[in-house]
């Protein structure tokens, strides 16, 4: 082998190694860029979901019942909260009674339970007799009516 042939072979060998190293480096850079892009895309989608989920969830999981007057809130709560506890236990939903004038919020992810609670509360307010025994009666009656409507 002559000096020129040896030199050409050595250059070819180093050239092949450099190409392989460059290919590995390019692949690593592409993978890192792809991983970062995926991470950034997830962040953007998560932020978008978080911003819109609140509005959607409140529309889907909450119903509002308007009251004739604020005195009705006290009657619905009952002595030591027994009426509101009876309503929550009988219907399986959360009643939110806050400073909102003449309104009670009913919160539940189950739309059937929420509707049963809303109708029961409205009928109890019309009747005027809000007490634990009457609450259970009314919830059972409304539940039967709703089940018949669904069928």
Give the CATH number of the domain where residue 85 resides: 3.30.1370.10
Last residue of a domain, one of 43, 61, 79: 61
In a shared domain, residues 57 and 109: no
Q: Which residue has the tokens 């969830």?
A: 57
Last residue of a domain, one of 39, 61, 83: 61
Q: How many domains, the chain? A: 2
pLDDT of residue 3: 86
Query: 49 lies in which domain range?
Result: 1-61
Distance of CA 23 to the CA centre of its chain: 46
Spell out, as residue ranges, where the chain has pLDDT lower than 50.
none
pLDDT of residue 58: 66
CA distances from 113 to 59, 103, 107, 123 (A): 15, 19, 10, 15
pLDDT of residue 46: 86
Q: CA-CA distance, 91 to 117, in Å (whole number)?
A: 6
Q: CA-CA distance, 126 to 101, in Å (whole number)?
A: 19
pLDDT of residue 144: 94
Q: CA-CA distance, 74 to 81, in Å (whole number)?
A: 9
In a shared domain, residues 82 and 107: yes
Q: Which two tokens stand for residue 105?
A: 């919020």
In a shared domain, residues 122 and 82: yes
In a shared domain, residues 81 and 137: yes
Q: Is the pTM of this model over 0.85?
A: no
Last residue of a domain, one of 30, 61, 92: 61
In a shared domain, residues 3 and 34: yes
pLDDT of residue 59: 67
In a shared domain, residues 49 and 97: no
Q: CA-CA distance, 73 to 78, in Å (whole number)?
A: 9
Contact partners, residue 125, CB within 8 Å, separation at least 6: 65, 67, 68, 72, 76
């Amino acid at each position: 082998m002559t000096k020129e042939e040896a030199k050409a072979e050595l250059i070819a060998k180093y050239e092949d190694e450099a190409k392989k190293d460059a290919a590995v480096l390019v692949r690593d850079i592409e993978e890192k860029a792809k991983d970062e892009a995926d991470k950034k895309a997830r962040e953007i989608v998560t932020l978008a979901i978080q911003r819109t989920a609140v509005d959607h969830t409140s529309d889907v999981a909450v119903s509002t019942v308007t009251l004739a007057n604020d005195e009705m809130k006290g009657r619905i709560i009952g002595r030591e909260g027994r009426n509101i506890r009876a309503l929550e236990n009988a219907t399986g939903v959360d009643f939110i009674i806050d400073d909102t004038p003449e309104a009670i919020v009913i919160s539940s992810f189950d739309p059937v339970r929420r509707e049963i609670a809303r109708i029961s509360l409205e009928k109890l307010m019309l009747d005027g007799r809000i007490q634990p025994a009457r609450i259970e009666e009314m919830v059972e009656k409304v539940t039967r009516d709703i089940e018949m409507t669904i069928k």
